[in-house]
Structure 1
Amino acid sequence: MSEGFGKGCHLHLIDGSAFIFRAYHALPPLTRKSDGLPVGAVAGFCNMLWKYVSDERGSDAPTHAAVIFDHSSKTFRNDIYNAYKANRPEPPEDLRPQFPLTRDATRAFNIACIETQGYEADDIIAALACKARDAGGAVTIISSDKDLMQLVGDGVQMLDPIKGKPIDRDEVFEKFGVWPERVVDVQALAGDPTDNVPGAPGIGIKTAAQLITEFGDLENLLARADEIRQPKRRQTLIDHAEQIRISRRLVELDCNTPLDFTLESLEVKAPDAPALLAFLSEMEFRTLTARVAERLGAEAPAVVSAPLRDAPAAPDLPPIDRALYETITDQAGLDRWVGMIRDTGQVAIDTETTGLDEMQADLVGICLAVAPGRACYIPVGHVAGGDDLFGQSALVAGQLPLDQVLAALKPLLEDPAILKIGQNLKYDWKMLARQIPELGGIRMTPLADTMLMSYALNAGTHNHGMDELAERYLGHKCIPIKDLIGSGKAQINFGQVAIDQAAPYAAEDAEVTLRLYNQFAPMLPVERVTTSYELTERPMVPVLADMEMAGIRIDGDALRRMSGAFAQKMAGLEDEIYALAGQRFNIGSPKQLGEILFDKMGLAGGKTGKTGAFSTSADVLEDLAAEGHDLPSRILDWRQISKLKSTYTDALPTFVNPDTGRVHTSYSIAGAQTGRLASTDPNLQNIPVRTEEGRRIREAFIASEGHRLVSLDYSQIELRILAHVADIPALKLAFREGIDIHAMTASQMFGVPVEGMDPMIRRRAKAINFGVIYGISSFGLSRNLRIPRAEAQDFIDTYFQRFPEIRAYMDRTIADAKSDGCVRTLFGRRINTPGINQSGPAAGGARRAAINAPIQGTAADIIRRAMIRMPAAVAHLPAQMLLQVHDELVFEVREDAVEDLITIARDVMEAAAEPAVKLSVPLVVDAGAGRNWAEAH
């Protein structure tokens, strides 16, 4: 008991960590203008504290108060269960520098600021609440955290800071089905996927409450588990008794948490006006500074924001010296490097492997760097020439065993206190996640990816490969890989390279990556792309890696049957083509086709380009087909079937991984400058969905036994974004009321009623609706609708007359692109427009790209945000996200969980823009399920 604290005293305990995350997620990103420092969470936190300080509470006013924070280190619970909170994602990088600022803010408000190493904020709150209650005082815990509800009772209540509503024993009973003193028993049984508390499999809150109510408490329940009538539930409790007891230790708060201060020291004090105003002014919070100054009767200090500085200059470092690199071949060297990394708090990492397919390649070595000039290579898989009796190459002597190296690095690479820096980290993440599968692989966290930093800064201006970045930003030319492995038929894999040659190349990769990180990191806030990088680039790495590793099943027999059918259809088309041409020729030869079309048949067209060759591109053939010529039309049909056969039905079976039996595509995060993902090896994003042949190919993508594929697809997302950004009342109203947008557009343009509309008129409106997003020309629209160009131009003119806001948006966007050299999405993604000020034909394409980029980029940002949130949202379901196809996500889920997945995933997707952006039109997601992809879509 603390002297001076007792009956009549009222202690308020504010859950500071909850305040921070609430502020961060509830408010749009904000940076300090003078230096680009992220301060959005600090601003929200200060506003919440000011509201707390300035509220009139009367008899409920606190006599003592403190703000309690989580310490950044691990807690005693990790010693009890090392996977505790293992599923928690690391805080966004733009939030990390704000944590110490919120502590500074608390002290500026003259409120006690408390955190204790090894203990969570909840434990400190529990210890203070128990001490205050035992001293005869009253306690109010300002939080809505369910884990704190076990403390509610005589003398202790909670207050939801958002709703302003007290949480007493009755509210706790309503939530948990038991009184506060038995909450930990219920939580121990139900577990908590958010904190990775295991609990009892298959038992939720409701069932747990029934069991505790029936048996009185957890220990009595476990002791009498054999009395439970339901066999499955009985066996679960018997088999997992120890796990349940561990779970109880994890969820029970520690009222004996050591405190190095007294309750008396928490006495409420008035804000120190000069200190508080100085802090708010330093943060450049103009409005709050003025408000606080007025309330405290003080003069508000001037808040001056200097203009953003130019990008910080690269530090003056010595050139890269490969002679400084180490090769680690013994445990002592490995231990020394582990210690250096822990002391430094960050490490650049790169893996060397036997190939580019990270699902089948073997690990050859690991490269690390902690500072310029401090890099090493750890060889683990280099082999000598020649094979042994079993056809296997022998490892070169002097390398540490792979399992020994991985055992030393796994705790380090999974430590959330150590930043892992890489270039194209998704590759290395997957390589390491495949290692030591019996322990769940190595899942690196937290991450920083220099490729994605460059992409966030420079999308559209140059490529983001390491060698190019090293030359461009560091003035350094890396060792070419071909110098080591050769090329062509003589090429070897990296495991066959001598270690003394491999080490400089490998360690150089790690050092270059570290230097690039040091170059790019301070540029992100200056260029105002920190939020884009943190929220839509970097978090995609583990999400996509897990999707790619999961893969998807295909029906090889069905594809082979389709290949046969396509071959027959192509043969029939070939017969028609030969008949129309009057001779046989090589249909796949542009030269021979051009001679048939333009020399022999005399169709409009001709030779083009410097070579004087005939153009037989799809555009040329489509124009000829639109004029009523049958041969070009049949050629187009033949080309489509031929491409489907060669690209999909013939090729897909060759991509089946022999170990998993599934196809594993790879997604490029930093490909399209608008943020759209690209799928390669194989490309699963370009399978036609509207043709019969494309649907048949999708039928070959199948679910595992007892599972279903689920497809969730944004409905007309780019049109909805256009309606929002261009502020088009008619379109927004139609989307809000669920009106057929294409019929509404046709009605507006052509003055015809929606009811009983001619499908051809609706089709024309649809073509314009989608075409205008891409800056379609009269030439393009005439081709799409197969109408005269003049008529197409009339349609476009009418469209802009009916929707003048779209023309205003286009003009505004082009003007911004010309002045800024870029456009931005609603979420701050920077899309550079390097050709926007050119003249001639290139200028038209640049303008069309600039018009489309904020719309397509915002759509890409939205689905990225949905994908990033999805794993945590569906973690409790037997489901896995497998594919992303532009506006569509494909999952594999156990049959009995299909509806649950659809409900949760749809909610995540439809709310993905929030809280950063509040769209003025709703996002709508269509969903379907089936045994194959075609049925699901």
Structure 2
Amino acid sequence: MPKKPAAKPAAAIDAAEIPAAIPATIPAAKAEAGTNMQGQHVFLVDGSSYIFRAYHALPPLNRKSDGLQVNAVLGFCNMLWKLLRDMPKDDKPTHLAIIFDKSEVTFRNKLYPDYKAHRPPAPDDLIPQFALIREAVKAFDLPCLEQIGFEADDLIATYVRQACERGATATIVSSDKDLMQLVTDCVTMYDTMKDRRLGIPEVIEKFGVPPEKVVEVQALAGDSVDNVPGVPGIGVKTAAQLITEYGDLETLLQRAGEIKQPKRRETLIENAEKARISRQLVLLDDKVALDVPLDDLAVQEPDARKLIAFLKAMEFTTLTKRVADYSELNATEIEPDRKNASGASSTAPKASVAAVTGDLFGSSDGVVKSTPIIRAKGDAEIKTPAALAAARLEAVRKLPVQRDTYETIRTLERLKDWVARIDNNGSFAFEALAPTIDPMQAELSGFTLALAPNDACYIPLSHKQAGDGAGLFAAGLAPGQIAVRDALEILKPILESSGHLKIGLNIKFSAVLLAQHGIVMQNQDDVELISYALDAGRGSHDLQSLAQRWLGHTALSYGELTGSGKNKLAFDQVAIERATAYAAEHADLTMRLWQILKPRLVAERMNAVYETLERPMVATLARMERRGITIDRQVLSRLSGEFAQTAARLEAEIQQLAGEPINVGSPKQIGDIMFGKMGLAGGSKTKTGAWSTSAQILDELAEQGHDFPRKILDWRQVSKLKSTYTDALPEYVHPQTKRVHTTYALAATTTGRLSSNEPNLQNIPVRNEEGRKIRRAFIAAPGHKLVSADYSQIELRLLAEIADIPVLKQAFRDGLDIHAMTASEMFGVSVKGMPGEIRRRAKAINFGIIYGISAFGLANQLGIPREEAAAYIKKYFERFPGIRAYMDATRDFCREHGYVTTLFGRKCHYPDIKSPNPSHRAFNERAAINARLQGSAADIIRRAMARMDDALAAKRLSARMLLQVHDELIFEVPNEEVAATLPVVQHVMQDAPFPAVLLSVPLQVDARAADNWDEAH
């Protein structure tokens, strides 16, 4: 199968070999050039399509030894074997690869966040088979390819382009319609299930246009499966007619006014932007910088013994016999592959850790005694932070991950030995593990520690013992574990020591969990936050993504460990040996990533961002999460009943308008009533043939004055409030604290904004009465008040500051009504006695400009013609030209550098701002312009939060910061301290930018105290 390059020996890095001109953070793209491939045949298998077709083609099949479902694995292996052995000699592949989707998040999600948002999750009994299928590909000696940020289709598009340019032919093994745009005289598709070739005639038969026009048709027709919006009311047939007539999408949209059919003309004009975005979503990227060159896909004969060993481990008797007969081997003489056999743990071959770590990390006897450092003809030769970062990256990437070196700590004496090594070392990777994701209620399953690559251990504490008759697990603990209390007693001194650096990834979870046991962890580094400070917007910051990106290593996933569906295990039910492989690898990889990323902070001048905006937030948010907030169950219960009555009333009104009994929760019935019985215009059907009743369609119909869709929207909203909040919130009350504890994510957005989950307390609606009623259920403890402190118009103030708009800056300094002042400036109306409608329009423009609102969007918001909205925006920029100059300068900077910076130096990356697609490019431009404002606001409130507890303590106040909701902080304050607390909170928040940034525009913080959140806001 594919030839693999010879591995380079691990050795110390020679600094002289590091090219100074190559940035350490950006891997060089691999060249596409290669030899002529005339007469060769490249096969590219769409792995995801293969998996699902294999799964659905075979009935459930369980491995006899352990009951693991393996029908998809068997189907996949059968199809691969057929592809390799049964193809005609003149049609066999000379190059072959199996290509998978690396992750669900790609550049398309940045363009359109709802892309593929409605796809159902994979079946529970299929998920555990994904990893085994990848093992199957390896057993066949085939490349198993995937790249973060791209779909498998993009990789396939790039490979077939290169193949054709070099004279080869290509076959895409798939029946996916999205790949049909790639079909040419050089490229065909092959449906293995139907044994059918798909060429240009077959594509024309399906789409009504040749392959090069398929994206134009798909952009108009959309795709309900992938949630590509398209143009409502236009299907494939109509789209093909339009593209045939006008040539391409852009020409059609520019000439849409010429279309005679009024409905079609209007929907094309109104949804032009959706169509352009849709085109970018369906257009495959054939310029991916491939990690694996095309030449490396050359086919060679597989190792039949290895393949038979895998098939025997999977217990595929028939296929094992076929392979053995073909290879003329005796299968009975070949042992099953232990790694993939029933009940197996990792059996990676041992390497000489001593030899490798001695070279890389400065230990002559192979024992790692100190924090790893890079040797390169003497450390003195590495003279710059950038050189050190580059050397670290190269060195760490060369060191293979060897899970068989990990140790399970089962005795106090051995744990004390590790603590002694940590004490000498000064820094170590650490993670507390638990069976649930809620650290407030989780039990400790164990700890994992690492001192260096391949020098890691796991300390199991409370893993359950496998049962042998009374259920899956007996009540007792598995043998060979240290008692939780004893382990904590030994670890507590180093965990609470400010002289020992704890290195983790999402270490806040461990901090909250340990605090439940009376341990307040001090001095920690978080690899996730280091990555976030460096690369926000460039990719995910979870361990698996980082390990793949920086180490080229695929880490064991939690799903691989625990399984899924009805047989899914909690972490403390996993066998200790398997738990060790998973947990110790986490610590090992965390240490490696820290060694790679930490030097970049200094090299790229991002250390201040990490140290002031990220690192302090771990302890701050851990305290807030533990404090929680009280809710009034009775208020929620009453609201639930009230919402139920409102929903029932709306249902009755909907039934009356429908003129017949219907299930209001049935989209099909609703669609049939609206577009079938009532004949409302604007309907579009999904791929299943049912009418679409999306919120957007209902909104459009409601704005036209139709009562029925408006009632449906009202019913859906009140039903969601009931299910998501009034019914669900009581379920989150902690059994001991009797409070609700949310969890904050620090690295969830490009701009630095926090997000809240389990439950999400940042998305409770505040712009309608029902949402405000829900906030009334958040109450202060007896003898206390809730204080809400909220930055007033902070992003507008930052716009005035950053864009340097004198009239706006002066207005804020004078404490004027900024919206009335803007209206006066734009429309020449006196502030005194100004009509409310005029101020409302100015307010919509003020806030809309921040988010790059279009004339179409402003027209919808104000209910005015688009031409009038466009005139307002034009006049706004004429009156405040500095804002346009700021936007242009920000956009130009981001185009040149790929990122924008906040006032405090945070980098918000938008790598797709140079996209050739106008819609995609415009989206990133708007996001970059807004990021400087939103990101600066996020940084300011972070700075305030990091200082708040110390400021309150210095004034001997007992107030406790409970929640952060974007620009608002919520406190619980004793009644008698409210008057003293309000000015302290306001002072800390208003002065948060200082001394790093001196603003010429004052920040205003409104703070009020009340018995519940709504009244305090």
Structure 2 residue identity aligned to 1:915: P
Q: Does 1:505 align with 2:582?
A: yes
Which of 864, 876, 879 is the aligned partner of 2:959? 879
Q: Which residue of 2 aligns with 1:526?
A: 603
Worse-matched range after superposition: 856-865 or 584-593? 584-593
Distance 1:635 1:769 in 2: 32
How much does 1:389 deviate?
12
Structure 1 residue identity aligned to 2:1006: D
Q: Does 1:575 align with 2:652?
A: yes
How much does 1:695 deviate?
1.4
How much does 1:646 deviate?
1.0
Q: Which residue of 2 aligns with 1:404?
A: 486
Distance 1:307 1:381 in 2: 43
Q: Which residue of 2 aligns with 1:372?
A: 453
Show structure 1 runs of 5+ residues with no match. 1-32, 37-304, 436-440
Distance 1:596 1:388 in 2: 56
Q: Which residue of 2 aligns with 1:475?
A: 552
Equivalent positions of 1:689-728 (< 5 A) are: 689-728=766-805
Q: Does 1:928 align with 2:1008?
A: yes
Structure 1 residue identity aligned to 2:627: A
How much does 1:524 deviate?
1.6
Structure 1 residue identity aligned to 2:444: L
Which of 455, 470, 475 is the aligned partner of 1:393? 475
Distance 1:586 1:631 in 2: 14
Q: Which residue of 2 aligns with 1:846?
A: 924
Contact 2:797 2:1003 in 1 (8 A): yes
SS in structure 2 at match of 1:339? helix
Structure 1 residue identity aligned to 2:420: G
Contact 2:528 2:541 in 1 (8 A): yes
Distance 2:689 2:602 in 1: 51
Q: Which residue of 2 aligns with 1:858?
A: 936
Distance 1:798 1:610 in 2: 44
How has the CA–CA distance of structure 1 residues 803 and 497 changed in structure 2, closer, same or farther, with 3 Å as cutoff? same
Equivalent positions of 1:265-280 (< 5 A) are: none
Contact 1:553 1:702 in 2 (8 A): yes
Q: Does 1:891 align with 2:891?
A: no
Distance 1:795 1:696 in 2: 35
Q: Does 1:732 align with 2:813?
A: no
Which of 353, 369, 373 is the aligned partner of 2:434? 353
Distance 2:468 2:642 in 1: 45
SS in structure 2 at match of 1:644? helix
Worse-matched range after superposition: 397-406 or 882-891? 397-406
- TM normalised by structure 1 equals 0.65
Contact 2:465 2:474 in 1 (8 A): no
How has the CA–CA distance of structure 1 residues 460 and 588 changed in structure 2, closer, same or farther, with 3 Å as cutoff? farther
Q: Which residue of 1 aligns with 2:678?
A: 601
How much does 1:654 deviate?
0.8
Distance 1:364 1:705 in 2: 36
Distance 2:970 2:909 in 1: 31
Contact 1:456 1:830 in 2 (8 A): yes
SS in structure 1 at match of 2:737? coil
Distance 1:801 1:894 in 2: 51
SS in structure 2 at match of 1:684? coil
SS in structure 1 at match of 2:905? coil
Distance 2:876 2:697 in 1: 27
Q: Which residue of 2 aligns with 1:288?
A: none
SS in structure 2 at match of 1:709? strand
Q: Does 1:344 align with 2:425?
A: yes
Equivalent positions of 1:444-523 (< 5 A) are: 444-523=521-600
Contact 1:35 1:309 in 2 (8 A): no
How much does 1:611 deviate?
6.6
Contact 1:749 1:799 in 2 (8 A): yes
Worse-matched range after superposition: 523-532 or 319-328? 523-532
How much does 1:365 deviate?
0.8
How has the CA–CA distance of structure 1 residues 729 and 309 changed in structure 2, closer, same or farther, with 3 Å as cutoff? farther
SS in structure 1 at match of 2:489? helix
Distance 2:670 2:992 in 1: 49
Distance 2:995 2:914 in 1: 35
Distance 2:838 2:662 in 1: 40
Q: Does 1:382 align with 2:460?
A: no
Distance 1:397 1:527 in 2: 49
Contact 2:963 2:970 in 1 (8 A): yes
Distance 1:596 1:782 in 2: 29
Structure 1 residue identity aligned to 2:464: V
Give CA deviations for 1:82-125 in whole Å, capped at 9, x if unaligned: xxxxxxxxxxxxxxxxxxxxxxxxxxxxxxxxxxxxxxxxxxxx
Distance 2:766 2:698 in 1: 22
Give CA deviations for 1:472-518 in whole Å, capped at 9, x if unaligned: 11111222323332211111212122222221211111111000000
How much does 1:315 deviate?
4.1
How has the CA–CA distance of structure 1 residues 504 and 682 changed in structure 2, closer, same or farther, with 3 Å as cutoff? same
Which of 406, 409, 421 is the aligned partner of 2:503? 421
Q: Which residue of 2 aligns with 1:867?
A: 945
Give CA deviations for 1:815-848 in whole Å, capped at 9, x if unaligned: 1111111111111111111221111322222121
How has the CA–CA distance of structure 1 residues 779 and 597 changed in structure 2, closer, same or farther, with 3 Å as cutoff? farther
How has the CA–CA distance of structure 1 residues 742 and 465 changed in structure 2, closer, same or farther, with 3 Å as cutoff? same
SS in structure 2 at match of 1:538? helix
Q: Which residue of 2 aligns with 1:316?
A: 395
Structure 2 residue identity aligned to 1:573: L
Q: Which residue of 2 aligns with 1:177?
A: none
Distance 2:565 2:976 in 1: 51
* Percent identical residues: 55
Contact 1:387 1:394 in 2 (8 A): no
How has the CA–CA distance of structure 1 residues 779 and 492 changed in structure 2, closer, same or farther, with 3 Å as cutoff? same
Contact 1:374 1:511 in 2 (8 A): yes
Contact 1:387 1:393 in 2 (8 A): no
How has the CA–CA distance of structure 1 residues 307 and 746 changed in structure 2, closer, same or farther, with 3 Å as cutoff? farther
Q: Does 1:918 align with 2:1004?
A: no
Equivalent positions of 1:90-109 (< 5 A) are: none
Q: Does 1:763 align with 2:844?
A: no
Distance 1:489 1:459 in 2: 37
Distance 1:500 1:611 in 2: 48
Give CA deviations for 1:633-663 in whole Å, capped at 9, x if unaligned: 2222222211111110011011111121111
How has the CA–CA distance of structure 1 residues 673 and 613 changed in structure 2, closer, same or farther, with 3 Å as cutoff? farther
Q: Which residue of 2 aligns with 1:903?
A: 983
Q: Which residue of 1 aligns with 2:257?
A: none
How has the CA–CA distance of structure 1 residues 694 and 603 changed in structure 2, closer, same or farther, with 3 Å as cutoff? same
How much does 1:738 deviate?
0.4
Q: Does 1:325 align with 2:406?
A: yes
Worse-matched range after superposition: 416-425 or 611-620? 611-620
Worse-matched range after superposition: 318-327 or 678-687? 318-327
Aligned residues: 633
Two-structure CA RMSD over aligned residues (Å): 2.5
Distance 1:389 1:35 in 2: 62
Distance 1:461 1:610 in 2: 34
Which of 895, 913, 916 is the aligned partner of 1:836? 913
Q: Which residue of 2 aligns with 1:258?
A: none
Structure 1 residue identity aligned to 2:793: Q
Give CA deviations for 1:748-784 in whole Å, capped at 9, x if unaligned: 1111000000001100110110111000001111111
Give CA deviations for 1:165-198 in whole Å, capped at 9, x if unaligned: xxxxxxxxxxxxxxxxxxxxxxxxxxxxxxxxxx
Give CA deviations for 1:143-180 in whole Å, capped at 9, x if unaligned: xxxxxxxxxxxxxxxxxxxxxxxxxxxxxxxxxxxxxx
Contact 1:667 1:678 in 2 (8 A): yes
Structure 2 residue identity aligned to 1:932: N
How much does 1:418 deviate?
1.1
Which of 419, 431, 437 is the aligned partner of 2:513? 431
SS in structure 1 at match of 2:781? coil
